[in-house]
Structure 1
């Protein structure tokens, strides 16, 4: 529950075709009643000519207001029956559910939340388990199988017969298809596709629908947090009546028109294809304004004094950037000469926007304000001590044609890492010969990119979808350094790739704002490394030996309460709260971190939960324990306040009372 009543509009219409198997239908409907969820649903059942008493039992349920029953008097098959149910639906979304399934508590909310938060998602499927607890369906991959002289396109259930806790089946993923044994589809998309294709008979109509949705640009997402037990293929001999015809039809429609995820050779060996479509999925954490013109970029230049270099940067941008792009200067509390220059620039050029912070918000804070206010599709963070050349932004954005690329950086004369060229053919002090050198490099390296784990923030192009899914820079890094490395790692864990555009050269003077302010850059780097190290639970010598334990980080994956960052409040950016269904698993994760002594990460996760759910007693009590454990003296005051707040609301909360007694006893004992 909750079931829809006469006074409410359902979020979801659950559509269940049945043919006989009354015991399974009873169990399925009972599981719906006993599985709590927040989404409001209604139920439509299509009786495909049952002869075992199912019709009478369903009519009784309809009389009691539990469901809407359609009785066509014949077996329409799965596709036509589901289409008929969709016509009678009142929900915003359509849930196609087999009658040989039993749902588990919380099964529906992850699916509904995915569609509601992410307009790109057209359909979302569940993790399906056999009654013995092993996996029946962890999403569907497309496989081209060679059988003698013939190649056949098939759907392959991922993680089949693996244990339920198999790591590969417990990450949200973008796939080309999911099983319609339990599939939530956006109603508007289903209608646009004209429903399931009735040329299929009880097989492959779900794969076909997903492929049509994907061809139209919709995403298919697998959500393992939604768990459903599937007895599988219990609908009788009709299920297998036209298997060969269904396979033949799928291949006539799609072989050669879609990219397979895997290939199986004649000898049985299965290999992944380079162009496979399986990718990690993260839900949006921020909603950006939807009026941005396609293929445009807001270039965000953070300024903090050093006017000489800001002038050079601005002059090069105005000469070499198409005015359809936005040039945004975000000032971090500069002196009046810089402020006057920026004000004059904004008056003179319509593509220029200036934001004044009034104080130094740091690299992350300043850029986050720019990202939140950006008017274009993508954003490019550009240091004010850079000089760009002809065609720079076209070359920087070209790699975004690959939908898996989330970040792009250029090559340069002065930076750490692989983006720095060993030598440059111009005077990097006077810039004499820069334009000619950049043009030669562009011609020599045209279209070339190189994969990268880290792209340095002196010039960092960010895809819009990436920002929506992991948020802004981490402002915990303060004035600057390592927030770009942190962002790259977060993006990598969320399934995005970074590349260096080898044909895009940007001159970089290097740390001019820090130099102008007299900041000890070496000390700054050392301090921010410690922030980065603690955040990611890295060993003290990781900076020296380069070992950051990527395997562990990838296994743990992208965790929203640890790795997503909010943007500043702005009319063009709206932060999305942590969904209520995700609170429990987030607290489980935080408590697991606490149990192994990773207290800083537990603290971070718990604060993220309380930010969006401030009255949550378990989160508050857990955070109090983490604070006290980390530092019994400095953390005590906040810990006590948290627990007292829980007890003010719920005086009978035994966990909070026990923890508070423990802290007071320990404090008295040490005084």
Structure 2
């Protein structure tokens, strides 16, 4: 017999994480998820050709869906693979070089539940876009970070604000959003600006971008790119060029103008298959 769903049980959230080596970061990230996530969730893990034992670790995790790519599909390509597998009502895109904190998912989902106009929610962090950044964090260790995050969440309970873009290091949205606007644009592979592009399309569809001030997540930051600074800069510049060409803008200060110009949402122009 089929098990009945318990009454008032929170909906499932699909947490999608991409990996490409950096096993220590991945272990710390996933450990923090298991420690601090109270809502029903599934892990969807996409490995982009790791050679450091990451895949072996991922395949041993309980109740995880794992995709092993032989080659690096990039951030957008890997996330789109995860979106196809996602069974959750809610979806989280989360970088593997993050450490989540107490109450993180509850607080992020609260905003989606309590304001239908919000399409994507992101947390505050130490290493992130200026719109979400806490410039001076007082902690020096992860234990100190957890204490800081707990106090920060209490102090800023149910506080948040609208923004014009969110970082893809941690984005939370309903599955219904990707059914409307599609996934991440793979023209930006291997990375950068696919998150800004996703945010623009969400806004064109009539949704707001929201920063949850009552959530702090630690982000080590671009760990997979730091090893080769020259290559990193080349990737950023190429993706930026693709972005300004796609949206016909001179710079990122024109994002609001793009959204206004492109409305209403046109699926032929704005939907990205995934």
TM-score, normalised on structure 1? 0.38
Is 1:495 aligned to 2:206, yes or no? Answer: yes
Match runs of 1:145-294 below 5 Å: none
**Distance (whole Å) between structure 2 residues aligned to residue 377 and residue 330 of structure 1:** 19
Counterpart in the other structure of 2:215: 504
- The CA deviation at 1:311 is 1.0
Who is 1:455 aligned against?
166
Task: Note the residue ranges of structure 1 that are not aligned, 5 or more in a row.
Answer: 1-290, 568-671
Are 1:334 and 2:50 matched, yes or no? yes
> What is the SS of the residue equivalent to 2:60?
helix
Maintained 8 Å contact 2:39/2:105: no
CA distance in 1, matches of 2:230, 2:20: 12
For residues 367-400 of structure 1, what are the alpha-carbon distances to aligned partners after superposition, in whole Å with 9 as ceiling and x for unaligned? 0110110121111000000001111100111101
Give CA-to-partner distance per residue, 1:312-354, whole Å, 9 cap, x none: 1111111111362112211111115111111122xxx23x222
CA apart distance, 1:423: 1.4
Structure 1 consecutive aligned stretches of length 4 or more whose deviation exceeds 6 Å: none
In 1, Cα distance between equivalents of 2:210 and 2:37: 21
Structure 1 window deviating more from structure 2 (495-504 vs 330-339): it is 330-339
Compare relative contact order (CA 8 Å, sep 6+) and give the higher one, 1 or 2. Answer: 2
Counterpart position of 1:555: 261
1:385 aligned partner = 97
Give how far 1:553 is off. 4.3
Pairwise CA distance, 1:417: 1.7
- Asked if 2 retains the 8 angstrom alpha-carbon contact of 1:294 and 1:377, the reply is no
In structure 2, distance between residues paired with 1:434 and 1:562: 43
Equivalent residue, structure 1, for 2:80: 368
What is the 5 A alignment of 1:2-13? none
Which SS does the other structure have where 2:116 is aligned?
coil
Count of matched residue pairs? 265
The answer as to 2:15 corresponding to 1:303 is no
> 1:434-453, aligned counterparts within 5 Å?
434-453=145-164
Alignment root-mean-square deviation, CA: 1.8
Which residue in the other structure is 2:34 paired with?
Answer: 318
Indicate yes or no: 2:130 matched with 1:423: no
Conserved 8 A contact 2:200-2:259:
no
The unaligned stretches of length 5 or more in structure 2 are none
Q: Which residue of 1 aligns with 2:242?
A: 531
Give the Cα–Cα distance (whole angstroms) in 1 for the partners of residues 202 and 195 of structure 2: 10
In the alignment, the residues of structure 2 paired with residue 413 and residue 312 of structure 1 have an alpha-carbon distance, to the nearest angstrom, of 17
**2:121 — aligned with what?**
408
Q: Distance in 1 between matches of 2:261 and 2:135?
A: 35
Specify the structure having the higher radius of gyration (Cα): 1
Q: After TM superposition, list the pairs within 5 Å mapping 1:11-26 onto structure 2.
A: none
Please give the per-residue CA displacement for 1:284-313, whole angstroms capped at 9, x wherever unaligned: xxxxxxx9x853211111101111111111
Residues 44-193 of structure 1: pairs in structure 2 closer than 5 A: none
Separation in structure 2 between the aligned mates of residue 383 and residue 514 of structure 1, nearest angstrom: 13
2:260 matches 1:566: no
Counterpart CA distance in 1 for 2:15 and 2:92 is 5
Q: Aligned pair in 2 of structure 1 residues 552, 525: CA closer, same or farther (>3 Å)?
A: closer
Kindly provide the CA deviation profile for residues 543-586 of structure 1, in whole angstroms up to 9, marking residues without a partner as x. 5xx235x446423322212210111xxxxxxxxxxxxxxxxxxx
Q: Which residue of 2 aligns with 1:482?
A: 193
